[in-house]
Amino acid sequence: MKAPEHIVIFHPAAIGDAVLATPVAALLKRNFPDTAITYWSHSSLEPLIAGRCKDIDRFVKFEKKPVIALISQLRSLAPQLFVDLSNSLKGRILCLAAGCRTVSYRKEAGKRAADNFVDTIRPLIKDCELPWFPTLELPEGGVGDDLNLSRGDSIIGLVPGVGNKRPHRAWPREHWLALIQGLSREGRQLVLFGGPEEAALGEEIEKSSNGQARNLCGRLDIEKTAGLLARCHLVVAGDTGPAHIAVAVGTPVLGLYGPTLVERSGPTGYEHLALSRSSQCACLEAKYCLKAEKTGPGACMSLIEPAEVIERVEQMLQADASRSGLR
- pLDDT tens-digit readout, 245-286: 999 999 999 999 999 999 999 999 999 999 999 999 988 888
Exposure b/e, 1-20, CB count within 10 A at least 16 = b:
eeebebbbbbbbbbbbbbbb
> What is the chain's Cα-based Rg?
20
pLDDT at 69: 98
Determine the pLDDT at residue 109: 85
Residue 323 pLDDT: 58
Arithmetic mean of pLDDT, 75-97: 98
Residue range 215-243: mean pLDDT, rounded: 95
Interval 20-62: pLDDT, tens: 999 999 999 999 999 999 999 999 999 998 878 999 999 999 9
Give the model's confidence band at 222: pLDDT under 50 very low, under 70 low, under 90 confident, else very high: very high
Once rounded to an integer, what is the mean pLDDT over residues 190-200? Answer: 96
pLDDT of residue 138: 80
Give the distance, in angstroms, between the CA of residue 242 and the centroid of all CA atoms in the same chain: 5
pLDDT (average), residues 166-186: 96
Instruction: Report pLDDT for 219.
Output: 94
For residue 142, name the pLDDT band (cuts at 50, 70, 90).
Answer: low
Query: How confident is the model at residue 327, as a pLDDT?
Result: 35
Pairing outcome for strands 6-10 and 36-41: parallel
Looking at residues 233-248, what average pLDDT do you find? Answer: 96
- Phi and psi at 253, nearest 5°, equal -130, 130
Which H or E run contains 41?
strand 36-41
Q: What percent of the chain has pLDDT over 70?
A: 95
Query: Residues of the chain with pLDDT > 90: what percent?
Result: 82
- Rounded to whole angstroms, how far apart are CA atoms 60 and 8? 9
Q: Which residues contact 285 (CB under 8 A, 6 or more apart)?
A: 109, 259, 260, 261
pLDDT of 221 reads 92
**Residue length of the chain:** 327
Q: What is the pLDDT of residue 326?
A: 39
Report pLDDT digits (tens) over 283-315.
888 888 888 888 889 999 999 999 999 999 999
Instruction: Kindly report the average pLDDT of the chain as a whole number.
Output: 93
**How many whole angstroms separate alpha carbon 131 and alpha carbon 165?**
31
Reply yes or no on whether the pLDDT at 195 is more than 80. Answer: yes
pLDDT band at 110 (very low <50, low <70, confident <90, very high): confident
User: What is the model's pLDDT at position 51?
Assistant: 79
- Mean pLDDT confidence for 66-77: 98
For the chain, domains (ranges, CATH) are 6-124 (3.40.50.2000), 147-326 (3.40.50.2000)
- Count of CB atoms situated within 10 Å of the CB of 307: 11
Residue 306 phi/psi, 5-degree rounding, is -55, -35
